[in-house]
Copies of this chain bind each other. A is one copy, B any other.
Amino acid sequence: MKSTEPSMKDVANLAGVSTATVSHVINDSCNVKEETKKKVNSAIEQLNYKVNPTARRLRTGHSKIVGFVVSNLAHYFYQEIGAKIEEVLNNNGYELFYINSHEDKAKEIQQLQLCKSEDFAGVIVVPVNEDWSQIKDILGNTPTVFIDRKPKHIRRDVVLITNAQSSFNLTNELITRGAKRLAFISPLLDTTMQLRLDGFKDAIMQHNLPLDEDCVIFTNHKPKIYTELADDLEWEKVLDFVINEKKVDCIVSGNSLFAFSAISYFKKKNIKLQKDILFGTFDNAFWMHNLDDQLLVVEQNTRAMGEKAASVLLSRLKGETFIYDEYCIETKLINLN
């Protein structure tokens, strides 16, 4: 058991050619005679030679690795997106490493620096930082695609859903079902959530319903693991407030994390969804399917999102040039249970 891997030199020696020729065979960067090609390939096989990606990277300055830097990897939604991204990238010779920024701005910056210094071919980012004026230089010209959130002060490809429109549709449906006094609640307010809020407000306005700004609530809840979201005291206070004091008859939830807390609250208080209170939320999360409650949800097409992000990145990796654009994926309004 030798501890060191065979190098190109070993292959060259065995095949009786120079390392340059071996390199040319591997990358077919030159016309190599069929016969020598055979010799080299058989030597490669015989030694079980693998190119050393570190050396190659040092020389060329780039790798075949893409980083998927995610604000919260535990969010199942991103797993679905990631699986699709990985599939597309794998089919094109790239590997995907998942990196969890844990909704931590400083950590995200550090991880992006790592992606850069590791010469990743490109990155797909669910950004935590909103303002990228200070950050954009970190990645230099590393191809970058944002997904799910659009940061400010940087122009890159972005894959989103039709946030405002979807939120409008959701709210509109709830109003059609009789909602008169609506609340919009979500954890942190980012650009995506702002768009959802816009759609929410538009729908209310167009139905000439009152908009109570006190019922638009964002906490700056640090992301917790789901198991801590149930019985969350902060959310309880918020929900007590809008339901008992503000007497809302409908709650629109900005994402499935809040939805989880809210459903936990409703269960504890024995409030029946859609009967005692109207409720709609973003995300068609898997765990909603086993609930007894009826749910109205905005289903995001995670496969389409992942597919789009990966294919745009691939185009960039190939060196194609085209305007940085915003790709919006359609959603579907769905009744569960």
A290 adjacent to chain B (CB < 8 Å)? yes
A190 adjacent to chain B (CB < 8 Å)? no
A118 and B3 alpha carbons, distance in the complex (Å): 15
A218 adjacent to chain B (CB < 8 Å)? no
Chain A, 110-133, contact with B by CB distance < 8 Å: what is the 0/1 string?
010110011100000000000000
Stoichiometry, copies per complex: 2
Minimum CB–CB distance from A101 to chain B (whole Å) comes to 11
Q: Which of B74, B98, B118, B290 contacts A100 (CB 8 A)?
A: B98
A99 adjacent to chain B (CB < 8 Å)? yes
A227 adjacent to chain B (CB < 8 Å)? yes
A76 and B83 alpha carbons, distance in the complex (Å): 15
A50 adjacent to chain B (CB < 8 Å)? yes
Given known A-B contacts A263-B290, A290-B264, A83 and B102 have beta carbons under 8 A apart: yes
Determine whether the beta carbon of A140 is less than 8 Å from that of B286: no
Determine whether the beta carbon of B226 is less than 8 Å from that of A54: no
Determine whether the beta carbon of A58 is less than 8 Å from that of B54: yes
- Chain B positions within 8 Å of A99 at CB level: 97-98
Minimum CB–CB distance from A261 to chain B (whole Å) comes to 9
A284 and B260 alpha carbons, distance in the complex (Å): 16
Q: Which of B50, B54, B286 contacts A287 (CB 8 A)?
A: B286
- Chain B positions within 8 Å of A289 at CB level: 227, 230, 264
Closest to A50 in B: B117
Given known A-B contacts A98-B99, A227-B284, A76 and B73 have beta carbons under 8 A apart: no
- Chain B positions within 8 Å of A225 at CB level: 79-80, 83, 286
A264 and B286 alpha carbons, distance in the complex (Å): 11
Minimum CB–CB distance from A137 to chain B (whole Å) comes to 8
A320 adjacent to chain B (CB < 8 Å)? no
Among residues 64 to 109 in chain A, which have CB atoms less than 8 Å away from a CB atom of chain B?
A: 73-74, 76, 79-80, 82-83, 86, 95-100, 102
Chain A, 253-269, contact with B by CB distance < 8 Å: what is the 0/1 string?
00000001001100100
Among residues 34 to 78 in chain A, which have CB atoms less than 8 Å away from a CB atom of chain B?
A: 50, 52-55, 57-58, 73-74, 76
Task: Please list the residues of chain A having a beta carbon within 8 angstroms of any beta carbon in chain B.
Answer: 1, 3, 50, 52-55, 57-58, 73-74, 76, 79-80, 82-83, 86, 95-100, 102, 111, 113-114, 117-119, 137, 140-141, 225-227, 229-230, 260, 263-264, 267, 284, 286-287, 289-292
- Ordered nearest first, which 8 A-B pairs have the shortest CB separation? A287-B287, A226-B286, A98-B98, A74-B79, A97-B97, A230-B289, A227-B286, A54-B58
